[in-house]
Structure 1
Amino acid sequence: MTVTVHFLPDDIQIEAEVGEPLLTVAERAGVFIPTGCLMGSCHACEVELGDGTPVCACLSAVPIGVKTLEITLYSDPVW
């Protein structure tokens, strides 16, 4: 099953498979998500889902049961 992933604020859309890691989807789309520890501790890769839920992209995958997934990238000058 494919899901349309919509990256904001860049307005980039790409098709992804359920269970595909968010960092992999972003890379295929040409979207840069900064990373640090790759274990969810540093929150460098934190993004916000369409419902406002913050998640660490390094630990998250495309969920089952959705047709579209909106991801808002943070702009953090420290990373």
Structure 2
Amino acid sequence: MSVQVHFLPNQVTIAAEPGEPLLTVAERAGVTIPTGCLMGSCHACEVDLEAGADCESICACITAVPNGPTDITINLYADPTWS
């Protein structure tokens, strides 16, 4: 079952499979998520993941599309340190 991933503020939506790396989904959607270490340590790729009423900050480089929700929203925000 695919998951609809909405990227804000870009207003881009793309279908993804649970377990698919978030950076891969973003790349397929033409959305750039800044990265640094690619291990979750530097937090350059930190975004907000919203699934239903839940919202949490995650590191996109080490996060996959969750299994369960059919719709998620990834809210990108600019960090002037990594721009």
TM-score, normalized by the shorter chain, greater than 0.5: yes
The share of aligned pairs that are identical, in percent, is 67
Q: Does structure 1 residue 70 correspond to structure 2 residue 73?
A: yes
Alignment of 1:1-79 (within 5 A): 1-50=1-50, 51-79=54-82
Aligned residues: 79
Runs of 4+ displaced beyond 3 Å = none
Superposed displacement of residue 52, structure 1: 2.6
Deviation, 1:65, is 0.7
Secondary structure of 2:28's partner?
A: helix
Q: Structure 1 stretches of 5 or more lacking a match? A: none
- State the distance in 2 between where 1:2 and 1:52 align: 20
- TM-score, normalised with respect to structure 1: 0.96
Provide the TM-score with structure 2 as the length reference. Answer: 0.92
RMSD: 0.7
The alpha carbon displacement at 1:74 in A equals 1.3
Q: What are the ranges of 5 or more consecutive residues in structure 2 without an aligned counterpart?
A: none
